[in-house]
Amino acid sequence: MPVFEYTALDQKGKTTSGIVDAESAVTARQKLRATQIFPVSIDEVSDLGQRRSKNAASVVSVFQRIKQTEIAAMTRQLSTLIGAGFPLVTAIDALIPHTASKSFKPILAQIKDAIVEGNSFAAALSNYPSVFSSLYTNMVRAGETSGTLEIVLEQLADLTEKQQALKSRIQSALAYPIVMACVGVVVLFVLITFIVPSITSIFEDMQQSLPLPTMILIQASDFFKNYWWAICILLVIGWLSFRSFKKTGAGGQFVDRIKLRLPLFGLIFQKLAVARFARTLGSLLENSVTLLTSLEIVRNIAGNSQIALAIDHAANEVSKGQGLGTSLAASTTFPPLSLQMIQVGEQSGELENMLFKIASMYENEVETRVVSMTSLLEPLMILVMGVVLGFVVLSICLPIFEMNQLIM
Other C-beta atoms closer than 10 Å to the C-beta of 370 total 20
Work out the angle at residue 292's Cα, subtended by the Cα atoms of residues 350 and 341, and round it to the nearest 5 degrees.
30
Other C-beta atoms closer than 10 Å to the C-beta of 329 total 19
Query: Contact at 8 Å (CB) between 106 and 3?
Result: yes
User: What is d(CA 208, CA 348) in angstroms, rounded to the nearest whole number?
Assistant: 83
Query: Contact at 8 Å (CB) between 360 and 342?
Result: no
User: What is d(CA 249, CA 253) in angstroms, rounded to the nearest whole number?
Assistant: 6
Phi-psi domain of 139 (left: phi exceeds 0; alpha: psi -120 through 50; beta: other): alpha
User: What is d(CA 369, CA 363) in angstroms, rounded to the nearest whole number?
Assistant: 10
- Residue 47 has what pLDDT? 41
Work out the angle at residue 397's Cα, subtended by the Cα atoms of residues 391 and 403, and round it to the nearest 5 degrees.
145
User: What is d(CA 269, CA 329) in angstroms, rounded to the nearest whole number?
Assistant: 19
Residue whose C-alpha is closest to residue 295's, from 261, 253, 323:
323
Query: Contact at 8 Å (CB) between 341 and 354?
Result: yes
Buried residues in 198-222 as b, exposed as e (16+ CB within 10 A): eebeebeeeeeebbebbeebbebbe
What percentage of the chain carries pLDDT values higher than 90? 5
User: What is d(CA 267, CA 333) in angstroms, rounded to the nearest whole number?
Assistant: 11
User: What is d(CA 263, CA 242) in angstroms, rounded to the nearest whole number?
Assistant: 21
Identity of the amino acid at 356: F
Query: DSSP code of 6?
Result: E
User: What is d(CA 152, CA 143) in angstroms, rounded to the nearest whole number?
Assistant: 6
Residues of the chain with pLDDT under 70: 1-4, 9, 11-13, 17-23, 40, 45-65, 203-208, 403-408
Q: How far, CA to CA in Å, does 261 sit from each of 112, 252, 309, 327, 329?
A: 47, 14, 16, 22, 18
Coil vs helix vs strand at 295: helix
Residue whose C-alpha is closest to residue 152's, from 70, 88, 100, 97:
88
Coil vs helix vs strand at 20: strand
- Residue 234 has what pLDDT? 93
User: What is d(CA 4, CA 47) in angstroms, rounded to the nearest whole number?
Assistant: 9
- Residue 9 has what pLDDT? 67
Query: Contact at 8 Å (CB) between 385 and 393?
Result: no
User: What is d(CA 272, CA 146) in angstroms, rounded to the nearest whole number?
Assistant: 31
Length in residues, the chain? 408
Query: Contact at 8 Å (CB) between 44 and 50?
Result: no
Residue whose C-alpha is closest to residue 92's, from 100, 84, 81, 101:
81
Whole-model pTM?
A: 0.65
User: What is d(CA 49, CA 77) in angstroms, rounded to the nearest whole number?
Assistant: 27
